[in-house]
Structure 1
Amino acid sequence: MIKILGSLIVIFAGIGFGFRKAAKEQKRLEQGIAIKRMLYLLQGEIRYGFTPLPEAVLKISTKTEKEYQPFLKKVAKQLETHSEESFAKIWQQTADQKLKQVIYEPKFYEILKNMGETIGYLDQQMQEKTILLTIEQLDDQIFLMKDQVVKNCKMYRSLGISLSVLIVIILL
């Protein structure tokens, strides 16, 4: 009876591990899509609302996913209180503080962080083009990741099941 219970625990632990790794892999892809959505919102505020960049960042902070809201709110607050600092410096410092721990995929983080270097000092049209360029870079990364994520998810699930069954067989 104890062997059966232990075997079931090992099998369920292996399955749980495999599915947790697959979910984390899927989350990486979803974060890229969420960042892209955030940039579309920023572009819309600038293009159609004719909103200055600091106000646009503050407006979209309430419309984006919760994990990015602290970053956007802090950028907007810093822009209001530290008007002598450049947008790029504020964007990059805040990204280092708030986004580095949140974003799983380093390439998405770098793309988003680098966008701040060019967007802050340009006119409206160039800001829109910079955001579009960043969205295209994200699209490229998402496209490259899609097949890999699907394969990795299947692999992690299969490995979780296979290894747990193997461990049970070895232990019995």
Structure 2
Amino acid sequence: MVKLLGAAIVIISGGVLGFYRASRERKRLEQGIELKRLLYLLQGEIRYGLTPLPDAIGTIAGKMNAEFSVFLSDVSKKLSSYQEETFSQVWKNSVEKDLTPYVLEKKMLEPLITMGDTIGYLDKDMQVKTIDFTIEQIEERMYQIKDQVIKNCKLYQSLGLSFGLLVVIILL
């Protein structure tokens, strides 16, 4: 009876580990979608709200999930303090400090950093076009990793259960 209970625990823990890894893979795509949402909201604030960039960033901070909200709030506070840093420096430092530890797909951050180099000093139309270009780059990266994520999810789930069964067979 104890052996069966132990075997069930090992199999279940292997399955849980596999499903955990699969959920981390899915989160890569979810973060890309959330990043696109951030850019669409920023674009809307600039285009239709005619909001200055620091105010637009502060406005959309409340509409995003926690990891992106902290990033946007940090950028907004630094820009509102009128320190000697340029928008590009503030943006890049905040991306590296606030987003790099949380975003699983680091390639998604490259277009975001590049956008920060050009968006801070342009007029409204050029800012909107720069955001459009960044959205296109992120969509392209998401398209590249989509198939990989789907395959990896199935692989991790299968491997987790298989590994649990293997350990049980070896121990019995």
Q: Structures share a fold, TM > 0.5?
A: yes
Query: Could you report, residue by residue, the CA deviation over 1:128-160 in whole angstroms, capped at 9, with x for unpaired residues?
Result: 011000000000011111111111100000001
What residue is the counterpart of 1:150 in the other structure?
150
Checking the alignment, whether the CA contact within 8 Å between 2:71 and 2:94 is kept in structure 1 is: yes
SS in 2 for 1:7: helix
Checking the alignment, whether the CA contact within 8 Å between 2:14 and 2:161 is kept in structure 1 is: yes
> What letter is aligned with 2:128?
E
Question: Are 2:16 and 1:24 aligned?
Answer: no
- Structure 1 unaligned spans of 5+: none
Query: Could you report, residue by residue, the CA deviation over 1:61-87 in whole angstroms, capped at 9, with x for unpaired residues?
Result: 011112111110110110011343210
Question: Are 2:158 and 1:122 aligned?
Answer: no
* RMSD of equivalent CA atoms: 0.9
Question: Are 2:112 and 1:112 aligned?
Answer: yes
> What letter is aligned with 1:58?
G
- Structure 2 unaligned spans of 5+: none
Question: Are 2:65 and 1:87 aligned?
Answer: no
Runs ≥4 in structure 1, deviation > 2 angstroms? none
TM-score, normalised by the number of residues in structure 2: 0.97
SS in 1 for 2:67: coil
SS in 1 for 2:66: coil
Query: Could you report, residue by residue, the CA deviation over 1:40-59 in whole angstroms, capped at 9, with x for unpaired residues?
Result: 00000000000000000000
Query: Could you report, residue by residue, the CA deviation over 1:81-103 in whole angstroms, capped at 9, with x for unpaired residues?
Result: 13432100000111111111111
> What letter is aligned with 1:84?
E
Query: Could you report, residue by residue, the CA deviation over 1:82-128 in whole angstroms, capped at 9, with x for unpaired residues?
Result: 34321000001111111111111110122212211111011111100
Question: Are 2:66 and 1:66 aligned?
Answer: yes
Checking the alignment, whether the CA contact within 8 Å between 2:58 and 2:72 is kept in structure 1 is: yes
What residue is the counterpart of 1:96 in the other structure?
96
* 1:124-139 alignment, distance < 5 Å: 124-139=124-139
Question: Are 2:61 and 1:56 aligned?
Answer: no
TM-score, normalised by the number of residues in structure 1: 0.97
The alignment-based identity, stated in percent, is 52
SS in 2 for 1:139: helix
